[in-house]
Amino acid sequence: MDITKEIEQCTKKLIENLMAEAEWNDKMLQPREQDEWISLVKERSQAIRGFFEENEVLISKLRKYCAMPKDKALADALFESARSMVLQGRLDPRIISEVSESVIEYYIDNGDDETAIIGISIRNACLLDSYTRAKVLFPFEELEAAYRWIIGHKECYEQLQNVKARRNIFYAYQNLIMAYMLDISEERLMKAFDCLEEVKELWSRPSVRAMDGNDPEIPYIVDDLLFSEPVEIDNLLFESERVKKKLLLMLECYLEEHQAEDNWKEKLKEEMIRIRLREQRGECSTWEAVKHIESLMEQLPKVDWELDIVQSQEVLLYFSYCYIIAMRILTRRKLHSEESEQVTRKMLSMFHQVVDHIPYSYLNSYVNEVFQSIFGTTVLNLSDAKEVEQLIYELLIYRQPSTYLHSQMVERIAVSIAKELIARSPELFCRIPGFSSADIVREKKEELLSYIAECARLHDIGKCFVTTVIMRQSRKITNDEFRCIREHPKLGLTLLEKNPLFAQYIDIIRGHHKTYDGMGGYPEDFDHTASPYRFVIELISISDAIDAATDILGRNYAKGKDFYKLLTELQDGAGSRYNPDIVRILSESEELQKEIAAYTGAKRMEYCYEAYRRCLHFDEKLPKDSKN
């Protein structure tokens, strides 16, 4: 078969499989009675395992062609393959970036800079999509150089024949600014501000306006850059006079250059910029600024999340912008805690009024990012641990049904094992702060079990930031993606380490993927054997491994193992990978084995349904006579 034809067919089939997988996933999100839902999930699991096997063959072929020496026909076929996947909604960013990467050098070497610009833009957008959440893995220098290469073509803008190539110069600025913002430092923020000035200058050129003044996308890119800059900049405003001075100057220029338009977005944008200017200059009190922001949030239009995607996305964007700025102002000013918490709770109430009826499937990745930002700013102004934990569930964990289910399963397994351990060998818990003797362990059994349950619920909190990678199981994950997943303990640490309310959970979040002997696992820079919480880390670790290995639903690349077969693997790993005392208790207690075998086997489907029903609010959507 002709190579170009085979590439076309491989791409078409891959797109069909990925779209079919998305349809199966959408079916899981629909409220159904338990028996019907469980039957559907079993069908889905079998279908997607079939996609997994076929996709591996298709991707292998594409990678083989990507590695071949290029001629124009092969390069064009691969370029069209990447472009087709993007046009279908960027189905698999990592694969698209690989395919587009393979042809960029060919087009540059052959003088086709316009196609190279589009290819680089596709690759970089996919890399940004893949890496944004795991900032430590971000290939910044590579992307910066590529975007600068595209931007360099602004000097021959008038000679570019392809409007998409010209438009991508502006997108290069937009994405480069985003990349600079991912690492909040004075040097990169100043570079971001320089980019803002450069793109404004480019758009003001008469020759550029003559060619593309009627392109609706370009003004949107340019006008929205300043307003939508990540609000983390506010963290540096009082640490860097250069950043503060530059930002205030640009905000002033924005107001001077833009005439008020008669629509809610432009009015809110201008009012927010005025508030920020007045607050930063000390021309209004913190309370005046926050109250003004509150009034703007109350004026946002009501939307139908399912019927009006464009306006609803805009409302969420502007609401979150106002909310986060208000939280940053409260945090910076270090106001009396009761006053700050009162305002924070009021804004949380407003937040729920705006978003409580968002369908789970609505712009999932975008909503997750908004909720993560909301959480990160809100917790700085709350002092009640239970309140913060509830926020973790509402904004992060309930947004990830698979992570929620896993945490609930680990909790059940860990608590069951802990009960047996307390009965047989309570001294094993005596290093844990507050449990210094076997008698105290027995006496405070319920408190200890509650703590272990909480550790299980929070141990994987960092996975909320790498969900798109974790769910990429319609093919084998790449080495880079695996490295990204391995960052989740650090991401969880970053989320909670500054909050003293969660100090007793931090080591469990960091260390639950370390081996018992300390010689393996990750992260490499954490020695869990030195932690006073070591035994709980190892209890959560083995419970985590048990659930993962017996999972028959969430892992498309493998069938779940029977617990009794898994037990022999735990025994083989005792003393190296797993704590030998925990393995011993598991091996000796037949009742405990039966209990865990039931959790991970016959009852798993029931638990899965309960998790999805909780996260997706099935009870609110099912007819009353069908609820359990």
**What does the H/E/C string look like for 413-436?**
HHHHHHHHHHHHCHHHHCCCCCCC
Does residue 146 carry a pLDDT above 70? yes
Indicate whether 99 pLDDT > 60: yes
Handedness of CA 514, 515, 518, 522 (dihedral sign): negative
Among residues 317, 215, 203, the alpha carbon closest in space to that of 264 is found at 317
pLDDT reported for residue 135: 55
**Residue whose token pair is 């540059």:** 108
231 pLDDT tier (thresholds 50, 70, 90): very low
Given this model, what pLDDT does residue 232 score?
Answer: 44
* CA-derived radius of gyration, the chain: 27
SS3 call for 401:
helix
**Closest to 129 in 3D by CA, of 119, 115, 139:** 139
Contact 463, 488 (CB under 8 A): yes
Mean pLDDT over the full length of the chain: 87
Q: Tokens 């220029």 label which residue? A: 253
* Residue % of the chain over a pLDDT of 70: 91
User: Would you state the pLDDT for residue 321?
Assistant: 85
Residue 602 identity (one-letter amino acid): A
Q: Residues 405, 409, 410, CA angle at the centre, nearest 5°? A: 120
**Phi-psi label, residue 2: left if phi above 0, alpha if psi -120 to 50, beta otherwise:** beta
From CA 20, how far away is CA 215, in angstroms rounded? 35
Residue 167 pLDDT: 93
Pairwise pLDDT comparison (150 vs 556), residue with the higher score: 150
Distances (CA, A) of 134 to 229, 368, 525: 19, 14, 17
The whole-number pLDDT of residue 354 equals: 85
Q: What's the pLDDT score for residue 558?
A: 56
Size (the chain), residues: 628
Q: What percent of the chain has pLDDT over 90?
A: 47
Tokens representing 378 are: 């809100």
Q: Which of 280, 425, 305, 316 is nearest to 358 (CA)?
A: 305
Give the tens place of pLDDT for each residue, 290-328.
999 999 998 899 888 888 888 888 888 889 888 988 888
**Neighbouring-strand partners of residue 574:** 578
Q: Quote the pTM value.
A: 0.88
Alpha carbons 324 and 339: distance in angstroms, whole number: 17
Tokens of 159: 């000679």
The span from the CA of 267 to the CA of 227, in Å, is 12
* DSSP string for residues in 577-604: TB-HHHHHHHHH-HHHHHHHHHHHTTTH
Q: Which CATH number fits domain 398-626: 3.40.50.1370, 1.10.3210.10, 3.40.50.2300, 1.10.3330.10?
A: 1.10.3210.10
352, burial (CB in 10 Å: exposed 0-12, middle 13-18, buried 19+) = exposed
What's the pLDDT at 626? 52
Rounded Cα distance, 146 and 251, in Å: 29
Where does residue 518 fall: left (phi above 0), alpha (psi -120 to 50 degrees), or beta otherwise?
left
**Residue 225: Cβ-neighbour burial (10 angstroms; 0-12, 13-18, 19+):** buried
Residue 50 CA to its chain's centroid (Å): 27
Which whole-number Å values give the CA distances from 572 to 93, 566, 578, 579, in the listed order?
Answer: 39, 10, 9, 11
